[in-house]
Amino acid sequence: MPAHPIDSIFFKDLYGSPEMRAVWDDLTLLQKWLDFEAGLARAEAALGLIPAAAAAEITRVARAENIDTAAIKAGIDKTVHPLVSLIWQLTSLCEGEAGKYVHWGATTQDVMDTAIVLQIKDSYPIFERDLDGLIRALADLARTHRKTLMAGRTHGQQALPITFGFKAAVWLAEMARHRERLAACKPRVLTGEFAGAAGTLASVAEHGIAINAKLMDELGLNVPIIAWHTARDNIAEFAQILVMIAATLGKIAHEVIDLQKTEVGEVEEPFEMGKVGSSTMPHKRNPMLCESILTLTRLTRRHAATAVDAMLHEHERDWSSFQMEWAYLPDLAVMTHGAMSLALRVLRGLIVYPDNMWRNLQATHGALLAERVMLALGAHIGRQVAHDVVYEAAMAAFEQRRPMAELLKANPHVTAHLSPDQIDALLNPAEYTGLAAAFVDRVLAAVEA
């Protein structure tokens, strides 16, 4: 059995996507290490610090397919160092004198830090594309169901009428904020590292600033203002945003699960013939996509704490914290994108049942509109007195399973001020959705501006 479900030949696409796994796999990481070494050589050659021919040779051989990965593994096992065996091998692959210029002025953590930033850089377009897809899917739901009546619920109980479009617009606004957060942190996160052994670039001090600028230009990254060997706040910020995205998707998935319960039946995740809910109960239409999303939410949220824990470093370098990122970041990125991919399937194909929503609006026998009746009656007898009168009617409606209208029309405290027709009108849920539709319009206008 594989060590991790994201690598399982059976389950991996429930935990991630092939696209994101490719960004974070070992051969990609190896190539990012090599990209740093080649970029460094070209930067130093451009400044006249090493021969141009040496930089060209280092670039030529710095390809993952040229590297003996088994030898790298054996070297790591022997040296307990992640990079030195690669440097040895890259040096030996170079022809002529080029090998002696490999890794000039850099320290291992420069390579490791920059490589992981390059992987984050490659993940960004994937996250951005699918966040945009989620935003479009939610916008479509909000627009389509702008006026689709349903019961709003607080504390798990029916509260007041809302629209399903309003619910979707709340999700949409939250997802749009995540898109803004991801964009806002991008310049901070996509910053490379070239700082030397203790962060001071002492070995190339005369040219250190120029090398740094040229190297980052070669790699398409931002130039660090100072070493960040022990400052992991930007990585932690990126991680927190991914955890938040996964959390929002988990919340939406949980809501779909709740609304898909047989007794509620207001929405359903996509279904097509052939999807099996149970090996023994043929009738089951289980929300298994949403359950997988919720699984990923629960698995990723622990990485929020790990990311913060990885910020705790001693002195100028501390690998006991730094190495945590090698473990949690690939896991977090792959699983977050897995949740996004599944959520796209759910939201693009979500089945909405307006008739069941209307049916459920009747479940309280009219008590759902108690607030509206209270305020109308309160204009005559005061809010608190009206609250008590309507409260008694609402509790009787619940316990006796009697229509709220019938109880109100039999109460002289009510009929002294409200006619039967007024009572019926006040208990119409279609007339008490407040600004639900207007809020949908506001969110759509803001997101689609």
Residue 235 has pLDDT above 90, yes or no: yes
Residue 1 has pLDDT above 80, yes or no: no
The confidence score (pLDDT) of residue 271 equals 73
Establish how many alpha carbons lie within 13 A of residue 184's alpha carbon, considering only the half-sphere containing its beta carbon.
Answer: 8
What would the two tokens of residue 377 be?
Answer: 């009656």
Domains and CATH numbers, the chain: 17-104 (1.10.275.10), 108-194+228-363+437-449 (1.20.200.10), 367-426 (1.10.40)
Q: How big is the chain by its Cα radius of gyration, in Å?
A: 30
Helices (H), 47-107: 52-61, 69-79, 84-93
CA–centroid distance for 372 within its chain: 38
What would the two tokens of residue 123 be?
Answer: 């993940």
Of residues 192, 239, 240, 169, the one with CA closest to residue 40: 192
What is the sign, positive or negative, of the torsion defined by CA atoms of 399, 400, 404, 410? negative
Placement of tokens 């929300």 in the chain? 287
Residue 273 has pLDDT above 90, yes or no: no
- For 178, the enclosing helix (H) or strand (E) is helix 164-189
> If you average pLDDT over residues 217-237, what whole number do you get?
97
Of residues 125, 173, 127, 34, the one with CA closest to residue 332: 127
> If you average pLDDT over residues 317-334, what whole number do you get?
92
pLDDT digits (tens, 9 = 90+) for 45-75: 999 999 999 999 999 999 999 999 999 999 9
pLDDT digits (tens, 9 = 90+) for 239-250: 999 999 999 999
CA–CA dist 32, 63 (Å, integer):
9
Cβ(184)–Cβ(220) below 8 Å: no
Percent of the chain scoring above 90 in pLDDT: 90
pLDDT digits (tens, 9 = 90+) for 335-357: 999 999 999 999 999 999 999 99
262 contact partners, CB below 8 Å, separation of at least 6: none
Residue 108 has pLDDT above 60, yes or no: yes
pLDDT digits (tens, 9 = 90+) for 168-210: 999 999 999 999 999 999 999 999 999 999 999 999 999 999 9
CA–CA dist 429, 160 (Å, integer):
8
Cβ(265)–Cβ(256) below 8 Å: no
Lowest mean pLDDT among 11-15, 94-98, 265-269: 11-15
> If you average pLDDT over residues 298-303, what whole number do you get?
96
Q: Which residue has the higher pLDDT, 366 or 7?
A: 366
Residue 274 has pLDDT above 60, yes or no: no
The confidence score (pLDDT) of residue 20 equals 96
- Mean pLDDT, rounded, of the chain: 94
The confidence score (pLDDT) of residue 11 equals 84
Cβ(166)–Cβ(439) below 8 Å: yes
What would the two tokens of residue 288 be?
Answer: 């298994």
The confidence score (pLDDT) of residue 2 equals 60
pLDDT digits (tens, 9 = 90+) for 141-151: 999 999 999 99
Strand-pair partners of 149: 163
Report the catalytic residues.
155, 278
**CB-count burial class (<10 Å; 0-12, 13-18, 19+) for 337:** buried
Q: Which amino acid is at 348?
A: R
Crossing angle (nearest 10°) for helices 324-348 and 233-260: 30
Of residues 304, 309, 325, the one with CA closest to residue 240: 304
Crossing angle (nearest 10°) for helices 370-381 and 383-400: 140
pLDDT digits (tens, 9 = 90+) for 179-189: 999 999 999 99
CA–CA dist 403, 412 (Å, integer):
17
